[in-house]
Amino acid sequence: MVDITFKNFSQRSATAQAIVRVSSTETILAIRERRIPKGDVFEMAKAAGLFAAKRTSDMIPDCHPIPVEYTAIQYDIRDLDIFIQVEIRTVYKTGVEVEAMHAASVVALTMYDMLKPLDKNISIEQIKLLEKKGGKSDFQLKLERTLQAAVIVCSDTASAHPELDKSGKLISEKLTSLGVTIMDLKIIPDEPETIRTTTENYCQAGADLVILTGGTGLSSRDHTPEAIGSLITRRIPGVEEAIRSYGQNRMPYAMLSRSVVGMAGDTLLMALPGSTGGVTDAMRAVFPHVLHLFKVLKGDRHE
């Protein structure tokens, strides 16, 4: 199966359809009057669809088992066609379109099986996805201008041996993939005044975003949160919580990180862990969604 361990939970839904076409009005009348020998066609098929929605991963090898939290099955008779519509919702890391189409298919097959003694010319048609919502496709960010970012690596070791830096490069690559321009990638010692001055310089140079990596641990040598604390005018605790929550679900030690996020004037400051694993998790946790902040700020400036 495709690896989805790095994805975030979000509300997702999908609506699918299938059409059962019968060959005579007598079949439709028998369905309406509940005269089918095998039972109530609509109720039996609905029950089968509910089972199918929850067991899609048992049938389709590459589908992930997911918590199906809502399923609705509706019918609409139009002449000799019975339109089946299935809606499924979940809060999870992957979509439910296959579950919706699988359920619609099973509803249609159940109807076929129940009606075939009465009608030998039934067909199943147009099994398809009508709509899907949620996930990455619903949160495509379109910014009106290119953002400028600076990346600062706070590490005594990396400042002495720049070739050892991996975290700064990871951040830069991720931002570049999102269309953010990298003003600079700078490696400095983990010294409070150097961190503060370097960060302040980038803010004054017009950086929209300054990401610092390293120096957020608990040892006496970790100074980043304190160094940039006086620059931050507005903390953004929701982003900090998202980073910690995402990390802790994958690595228990993440609770010891002191990641800090806030605004320094119009510049977003983010102090992230220094390890490659920690910085990768932090970037996955909040990007690209955190960039929506700049659309909010733009609207705020125009008020």
**Catalytic center residues:** 113
Q: Give 57-78 as a DSSP string.
A: HHHSTTPPP----EEEEEEEEE
CB-hemisphere CA count at 13 Å for 110?
Answer: 22
In the block, residue with structure tokens 């109720």 = 43
Alpha carbon 154 to its chain centroid, in Å, reads 30
Q: Are 211 and 152 in contact (CB under 8 A)?
A: yes
- In degrees, rounded to 5, the angle at the alpha carbon of residue 152 between the alpha carbons of residues 147 and 158 is 145
- Rounded distance, CA 208 to CA 270, Å? 11
**Which of 63, 68, 61 shows the shortest CA–CA distance to 98?**
63
- Rounded distance, CA 211 to CA 122, Å? 62
Alpha carbon 278 to its chain centroid, in Å, reads 19
Q: Which residues contact 259 (CB under 8 A, 6 or more apart)?
A: 216, 240, 243, 244, 270, 271, 272, 273, 282
Distances 284 to 174, 184, 252 between C-alpha atoms, Å: 9, 21, 17
Identify whether 37 is preceded by a cis peptide bond (ω within 30 of 0).
no
